[in-house]
């Protein structure tokens, strides 16, 4: 064997296993709970609030440090110059031994110094009094500054609390959108599976009618009707497939999955299903709402500002803010209560639709064996039998779509207890 052929075979031998390995890469399995948890971790919307809270915390600590460093100035006690003869005599320890002439000189010097000190003391007292007035004004300014800084700390703490609530709200919003997309994909899979069967049945039906037209047992109008129906179903299938592709693309982006990575969406386990029951304490549920908590935070901040008011006008103004915040909180509570009552009523109607769809599916499923027996003994044609089986598939599709919708409602209702109650 020549060297060229040997090299060629070695090249093929090396590449072939690589090709086999690439083709055997298994798709990534995705389950609903894993998608929700991972999606929240990957969400930039949630991360924004994490950074915002950290920024507010840094601002609060900086203001707190400024407040701690802000000290009120004080004056040293007033110190006057000496003006007594006794004090000055201590400066002349040999005074008693001095001559009368020397004593007269010393007495004159002491008198002059006392007069000078008395004059200087008047100036010192005046300056000290002026300094006291300036100090009082400065202390007042510092006290006002302290009050402003303390108020700013309260506002920053309130903003932090609201940001924390916003972060939790963002997490629940992301979880709901991910769940909606995931369940929509499963719903589209059910629709695609049914439409493919229906299109195949309609294609056979078109061929059947074409044959009937040739022998004069069917009109061309009937054929055109069948062809339009077949074409419409194909267009519907294409639209559903495009929607599914778009949703899968969105989920891959949200989960940071490479576009080339194949994924498989696991069905939702039967254990997930539960009947939604209205809460016994609706008031407690609505008070856990993020919307309610934020309004409550606004009321708390308004009361804090009212307590910090220093004059009657400011106090009256803050009292109006408190009343307005109380009114908004009460209005929010009423709106939430109305929304929840309406939503739980809709949950009940959706469950009734699910039960009806399930009963229809079970009914058609129970008749499947009967149809098969009729077909086998020749009482109905194969075409009619396939049409009846297609009705079973349609009933299953309708039941599964209602089930998927109710799964999403279960997730929505669970989020109510987590605080996510989005008012329209």
Which DSSP string corresponds to 53-113?
HHHHHHHHHHHHHHHHH------PPP-PPP--HHHHHTT-TTGGGS-HHHHHHHHHHHHHH
Q: Is residue 83 over pLDDT 90? A: no
Give the Cα separation of 316 and 314 in Å (integer): 5
Q: What is the pLDDT of residues 282-328, one digit of tens each?
A: 999 999 999 999 999 999 999 988 888 778 888 888 899 999 999 99
pTM > 0.75: yes
Q: Is residue 22 over pLDDT 60? A: no
Give the Cα separation of 90 and 46 in Å (integer): 81
Q: Which residues contact 367 (CB under 8 A, 6 or more apart)?
A: 388, 392
Residue 314 pLDDT: 82
Classify residue 256 by burial, with Cβ atoms within 10 Å: 0-12, 13-18, 19+: exposed
Residue with structure tokens 């639209």? 239
Residue 244 pLDDT: 97
Which pLDDT band, with edges at 50, 70 and 90, does 81 fall under?
A: confident
Total count of residues recorded for the chain = 424
Give the Cα separation of 154 and 64 in Å (integer): 10
The mean pLDDT value for 85-97 works out to 84
Q: Is residue 376 over pLDDT 90? A: no
Alpha-carbon dihedral 99, 100, 101, 107, rounded to 10 degrees = 110
The mean pLDDT value for 196-210 works out to 93
More reliable by pLDDT, 62 or 120: 62
Q: Is residue 88 over pLDDT 90? A: no
Residue 20 pLDDT: 40
Q: What is the pLDDT of residues 206-232, one digit of tens each?
A: 999 999 988 888 899 999 999 999 999
Q: Is residue 174 over pLDDT 60? A: yes
Question: Do the Cβ atoms of 37 and 161 come closer than 8 Å?
Answer: no
Residue 25 pLDDT: 63
Q: Is residue 18 over pLDDT 50? A: no
Residue 370 pLDDT: 86
The mean pLDDT value for 201-210 works out to 92
């Amino acid at each position: 064997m020549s060297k060229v052929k040997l090299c060629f075979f070695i090249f093929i031998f090396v590449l072939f296993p690589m090709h086999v390995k690439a083709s055997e890469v298994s798709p990534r399995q995705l389950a609903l709970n894993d998608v929700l948890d991972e999606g929240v971790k990957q969400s930039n919307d949630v991360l924004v609030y994490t950074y915002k809270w950290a920024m507010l915390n840094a601002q609060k600590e900086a203001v707190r440090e400024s407040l701690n460093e802000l000290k009120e100035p004080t004056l040293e006690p007033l110190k006057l110059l000496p003006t007594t003869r006794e004090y000055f005599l201590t400066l002349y320890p040999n005074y008693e031994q001095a001559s009368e002439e020397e004593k007269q000189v010393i007495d004159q010097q002491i008198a002059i110094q006392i007069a000078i000190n008395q004059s200087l003391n008047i100036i010192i007292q005046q300056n000290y009094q002026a300094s006291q007035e300036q100090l009082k004004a400065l202390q007042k300014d510092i006290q006002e500054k302290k009050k402003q800084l303390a108020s700013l700390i309260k506002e920053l703490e309130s903003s932090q609390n609201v940001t924390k609530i916003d972060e939790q709200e963002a997490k629940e919003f992301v979880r709901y959108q991910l769940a909606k997309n995931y369940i929509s994909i499963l719903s589209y899979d059910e629709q695609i599976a049914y439409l493919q069967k229906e299109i195949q049945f309609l294609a056979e039906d078109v061929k059947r009618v074409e044959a009937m037209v040739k022998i004069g047992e069917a009109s061309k109008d009937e054929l055109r009707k069948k062809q339009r129906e077949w074409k419409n179903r194909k267009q519907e299938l294409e639209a559903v497939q495009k929607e599914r592709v778009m949703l899968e693309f969105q989920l891959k982006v949200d989960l940071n999955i490479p576009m080339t990575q194949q994924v498989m969406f696991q069905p939702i386990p039967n254990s997930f299903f539960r009947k939604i029951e209205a809460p016994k304490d609706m008031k407690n549920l609505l008070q856990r709402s993020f919307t309610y908590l934020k309004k409550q935070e606004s009321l708390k901040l308004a009361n804090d500002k009212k307590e910090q008011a220093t004059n009657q006008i400011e106090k009256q103004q803050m009292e109006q803010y408190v009343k307005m915040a109380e009114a908004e909180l009460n209005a929010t509570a009423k709106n939430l209560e109305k929304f929840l009552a309406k939503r739980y009523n809709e949950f009940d109607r959706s469950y009734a639709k699910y039960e009806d769809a399930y009963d229809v599916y079970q009914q058609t499923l129970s008749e499947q064996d009967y149809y098969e027996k009729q077909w086998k003994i020749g009482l109905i044609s194969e075409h009619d039998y396939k049409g009846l089986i297609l009705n079973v598939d349609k009933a299953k599709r309708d039941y599964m779509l209602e089930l998927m919708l109710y799964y999403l409602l279960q997730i929505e209702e669970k989020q109510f207890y987590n605080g996510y109650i989005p008012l329209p």
